[in-house]
Structure 1
Amino acid sequence: MTTPALTGTPRSLRRRIRTSAAAALTGAAAVLALTGCSGLSFQDDICAGGEYPVMTVGATGSACVKDGEKVPEGYTRYPEGKVPQKVDDEWDVYWRTHTVDKEGNVIDAPEAG
């Protein structure tokens, strides 16, 4: 069967056009599958490999510190079992409205103002 738009085109060229079109469609399907249309969701890590997260004392700020380095002044480690791992995970969301005081007690974060 000859496609009307390709009538008068040499057979080898028609074959290359069809092969290119099939490859383009296959590539487009792969892109869609890898960009979230497959139902999978991806979250960014809070810190890069070789780092650990710390939070500001008395506020909702945070930072990442290289493994083996001390916690900077004004920061503390997250309480055990309450460390955010991924952006928007349970603990990342929780620490947006909570913090720790100078004694290490979990408290409601002060209102921004």
Structure 2
Amino acid sequence: MYATRRADRTVTASRHRKTRIAAALAGAAAVMALSGCAGVEYREDICSGGEYPVLSVGGTGSACVRDGEEPPAGFVRYPQGKVPEQVGDEWDLYWDTHTVDKDGKIVDAPDVS
């Protein structure tokens, strides 16, 4: 025969507290998932690791070249201190409207009105 056990109030209260904490944590996780983790900004690098960006001469195009290799024909390294590192950063936006000419001088991009 089975004897019925009376639930101790402290054990019951502890279980309810754990349930409320678990529910609160689950709710917080759901809010973060649904909000797209607001406040956490993702920034995409211009090039992958082991590469550096180069600019097309006379245009706003760019490419990535492996470290230790020279830029291909028609491309040059960005001027020192003006190298874009992440999509949308100051220099990435700058080079949308500027370029370098065949003498390496920074000029307005030809397609900018």
Q: Do these two structures clear the TM 0.5 threshold for a shared fold by scoring above it?
A: yes
CA distance in structure 2 between the partners assigned to 1:36 and 1:80 by the alignment = 35
- 1:40 corresponds in structure 2 to 40
- Percent of pairs with identical residues: 56
Match of 1:94 in 2: 94
Partner SS for 2:99: strand
Task: Report the counterpart of residue 27 of structure 2 in structure 1.
Answer: 25
Please state whether the residue corresponding to 1:25 is helix, strand or coil.
helix
What is the TM-score with the length of structure 1 in the denominator?
A: 0.71
Q: Which runs of 4+ in 1 moved over 4 A?
A: none
- What is the RMSD computed on CA atoms of the aligned residues? 2.3
Does residue 78 of structure 2 align to residue 78 of structure 1? yes
CA gap 1:85/1:68 in 2 versus in 1, 3 angstroms: same
Return 5+ residue gaps in structure 1 as ranges. Answer: 1-14
In structure 2, runs of 5+ residues without a counterpart are 1-15
The letter of the residue matching 1:62 is S
How far is 1:111 from its partner? Answer: 1.4
In terms of Rg, which structure is larger? 2
In structure 1, what residue type is equivalent to 2:97?
Answer: T
Deviations 1:9-31 (A, max 9, x none): xxxxxx9xx79x83753532442
Q: Deviations over 1:6-65 (max 9, x none)?
A: xxxxxxxxx9xx79x8375353244257x342x232211100111100000000000001
TM-score for both structures, normalised by structure 2: 0.71
Counting matched residue pairs gives 93
